Chains A and B, each alone.
Chain A
Amino acid sequence: MEIKEFISNFAEQFDDLDASILSPETEFKALDDWNSLVALSVIAMIDEEYDVTLKGNDITGSNTIQDLYNTVCERM
């Protein structure tokens, strides 16, 4: 898996978010459109695309998209 693909899947969970503004260093919880439903969508996307089951606390414990990506890679 490449982080580019991960970021694109991540961006799709928002209503209107241009994936090009995201980078591995983006602190995703600071994004204007971040909310609890997006969090659930990201968890469901990761389950569906990567077959990794994250918990709510995994999201809380990640700051950047890179953090999240690393967690997913570790558990694949």
Chain B
Amino acid sequence: MQYNPFSLEDKTILVTGASSGIGQSTAVECSKMGAKVIITARNPDRLQETFEMLHGIGHQQIVADLSNEVDIVNLVDRLPKLDGCVNNVGIVMTKPLPFYKREDVDRMFNTNTFSIVFIVQQLVKKKVLNRNSSIVITTSAGGVFGNTPGNGIYDMTKSALHSFMQTAALELAHKGIRCNSVNPAMVNTRMAEPSGSISEEQIQLDKKRYPLCRYGEPKDIALAIIYLLSDASSWVTGTALKIDGGRNLVR
């Protein structure tokens, strides 16, 4: 007999931002847990790469740019009934406060916050989510459990998502829909590569501030998302699950 309270057997799960990082790992892990997975992202080639990594059959891929409202509407119109939805869209920008520009803030909120708010809005309005379904939002430890100098715009977008997650949990509870977030600190994805304004040296220094002595791996986050999607978390809603290697215990 196989006992697995975390199984996603017979569930259909939408994963956004699935072409890389946490989204990609989540899509793969969901398929390994038996789910039918619908993946979406902007870049068709990278989405196809993820699609080829999925286990089992019956999965779907849909190319969409979720910072664009028309794409959100078209995506949701094409979806079957869902038992879960994982929202991973996100970009970073490191800029100290005196250099903020209105267009930076607009772009960051459009991508990180509003895309997720409006996909959830459409899913609920069009009654795509089954009773007992689960919404998971990838927010961040940053902006919720601690803020970092130079990271203010990113932290604001994630803090707004944290608030939205709690409101969604409250408003959707009577429909039997749960809404939670995972809040990672630094994870080894393209976001953590020294391609931007953060140098390799600064990254190596930063890793030493983690009690568990490393950055997270996408799978560390994906497995927490599995828990929140599965019936194992039936009594959990409105929770921000900090996954940070102990980073926010240290000041």
Residues of A within 8 A of B (CB): 36-37, 39-41, 43-45, 47-48, 54-57, 59-60
Q: How far is B95's CA from A7's CA once the two chains are assembled, in angstroms?
A: 20
Residues of B within 8 A of A45 (CB): 99
Residues of B within 8 A of A (CB): 94-96, 98-99, 149-150, 194-202
- Name the residue on A nearest B199 (C-beta): A56
Residues of B within 8 A of A37 (CB): 96, 149-150
Interface CB pairs A-B, < 8 A, 28: A36-B202, A37-B96, A40-B96, A40-B150, A40-B197, A41-B96, A41-B99, A44-B95, A44-B99, A44-B197, A45-B99, A47-B99, A48-B99, A54-B197, A55-B195, A55-B196, A55-B197, A55-B199, A56-B194, A56-B198, A56-B200, A56-B201, A56-B202, A57-B199, A57-B200, A59-B199, A60-B199, A60-B202
Nearest-neighbour CB distance to chain B for A25, whole angstroms, equals 22
Q: How far is B95's CA from A56's CA once the two chains are assembled, in angstroms?
A: 12
Q: Does A56 lie within 8 Å of B196, measured CB to CB? A: yes
Residues of A within 8 A of B194 (CB): 55-57
Residues of A within 8 A of B201 (CB): 56, 60
Nearest-neighbour CB distance to chain B for A63, whole angstroms, equals 13
Going nearest first, the 4 A-B pairs with the smallest beta carbon separation are A56-B199, A44-B99, A60-B199, A40-B150
Chain B: interface secondary structure?
Answer: loop
Q: How far is B194's CA from A39's CA once the two chains are assembled, in angstroms?
A: 14
Q: How far is B95's CA from A29's CA once the two chains are assembled, in angstroms?
A: 19
Q: Does B98 lie within 8 Å of A41, measured CB to CB? A: yes
Q: Does B95 lie within 8 Å of A40, measured CB to CB? A: yes
- Name the residue on A nearest B200 (C-beta): A57
Residues of A within 8 A of B149 (CB): 36-37, 40
Residues of B within 8 A of A56 (CB): 194, 196-202
For the complex with contacts A41-B99, A55-B194, 5 further pairs of A-B residues with Cβ separation under 8 Å are A36-B149, A47-B99, A56-B194, A56-B201, A60-B202
Q: How far is B197's CA from A55's CA once the two chains are assembled, in angstroms?
A: 5
Nearest-neighbour CB distance to chain A for B111, whole angstroms, equals 19
Q: How far is B149's CA from A41's CA once the two chains are assembled, in angstroms?
A: 11
Nearest-neighbour CB distance to chain A for B184, whole angstroms, equals 21
Nearest-neighbour CB distance to chain A for B151, whole angstroms, equals 9
Q: How far is B202's CA from A12's CA once the two chains are assembled, in angstroms?
A: 22
Residues of B within 8 A of A41 (CB): 96, 98-99
Nearest-neighbour CB distance to chain A for B193, whole angstroms, equals 11
Residues of B within 8 A of A43 (CB): 197
- Name the residue on B nearest A45 (C-beta): B99
Q: How far is B195's CA from A43's CA once the two chains are assembled, in angstroms?
A: 13
